[in-house]
Amino acid sequence: MLRWARAWRVPRGRLGASFLRCLAVPVVHSSGRSSGQGNADPRPLPLSYNLLDGDATLPAIVLLHGLFGSKTNFSSIAKVMVRRTGRRVLTVDARNHGDSPHSPDASYEAMSQDIQDLLSKLSLVPCVLIGHSMGGKTAMHLALQRPDVVERLVAVDISPIGTTPGSYIGSYIAAMKAIDIPENVPHSQARKLVDEQLSSTVKDPAIRQFLLTNLVRVDRRFSWRVNLEALAQHLDKILTFPQQCESYLGPTLFLIGGNSTYVKPSHHSEIRRLFPQAQIQTVPNAGHWVPNDKPQDFMDAISSFLA
């Protein structure tokens, strides 16, 4: 069973500190440049994607994965979405992930600009934008900067507040960078070796298996297809969220795992400041990976939100 909270409104006369800070900060609309990135490349990257066909008269559904993920995370869900909604469904590899190009810029400004450029090229504007974790922050950033691009927004187990588990994610990256695999070993043996080497740092076998989806063979050697250097360098930025002064007034759903600690009650004031039409829905017995833990509840929630 799913639990719902009411749509929120910001009470008059109760403007928070974030809003007051914004009064002194000029609003910079999306130009593709990332703030605080001295080596940032303003040009969007040509992302790898998969587009499933559907009714072109309806806004397409766009699925954005989280950190260390790829478009293949949503392969099964995307097919179900086409059947359930009749809509086109787009899955995308973020920069530095999957089959998309690498870049030293791992900012949300750059990632949202990539998505905006792809949506324009595919004539999928406006769309229903659904993002999990890091992808949810990218989706929120794009909706706040370019609300005309996003018809509806879904943020899955993430909020516009800094994410707390930064230390262990940093240790995961360090452990992945330290793996040592001999040349010319079979893929199955390589996966077993890497699993063993990661196990001392990454205790959860399910998380290790998730990380191992990034192990690929390049010539005779195995390597990671995620850009670990860029992710390590910009992890602090990935785990936070760019300060925002504008709000997104479109329909918004925050879909939260009941067993997850990523979205806390203390985040609600910032959610309702930035997304005044937001509803929050809790999926009981789901962790951070809501679509994987409870795929039926996830699909039911999305279908209801689109109805």
Nearest to 78 by CA among 62, 64, 70, 89: 89
Inter-CA distances, 228 with 48, 52, 66, 95, 175, Å: 18, 30, 14, 12, 10
Residue from 18, 229, 267, 268 carrying the catalytic annotation: 229
Burial of 83 (C-beta count, 10 Å sphere; 0-12/13-18/19+) = exposed
- Picking from 66, 165, 204, 182, the residue whose alpha carbon sits closest to that of residue 194 is 182
What sections of the chain are H helices per DSSP? 17-22, 75-85, 108-121, 134-145, 166-177, 187-198, 205-212, 228-233, 235-239, 268-274, 290-293, 295-306
How far from 163 is each of 52, 58, 215, CA to CA, in Å? 32, 33, 25
Question: Dihedral of CA 187/79/122/304: which sign?
Answer: negative
Whether 173 and 239 have beta carbons less than 8 Å apart is answered as: no
Beta strands in 8-96 (DSSP E): 49-52, 61-64, 89-92
**Catalytic residue (one of 65, 132, 234, 288):** 288
Beta-carbon contacts of 48 under 8 Å, excluding residues fewer than 6 positions away, are: 71, 92, 93, 98, 99, 100
Q: To 10 degrees, the CA torsion angle through 177, 194, 239, 134? A: 120
Distance CA 94, CA 131 (A): 11
Catalytic residue (choose from 48, 133, 159, 260): 133
Radius of gyration of the chain (CA): 19
Tokens of 276: 């005044």
The yes-or-no answer on residue 30 being catalytic is: no
229 in active site: yes
List the catalytic residues. 133, 229, 288
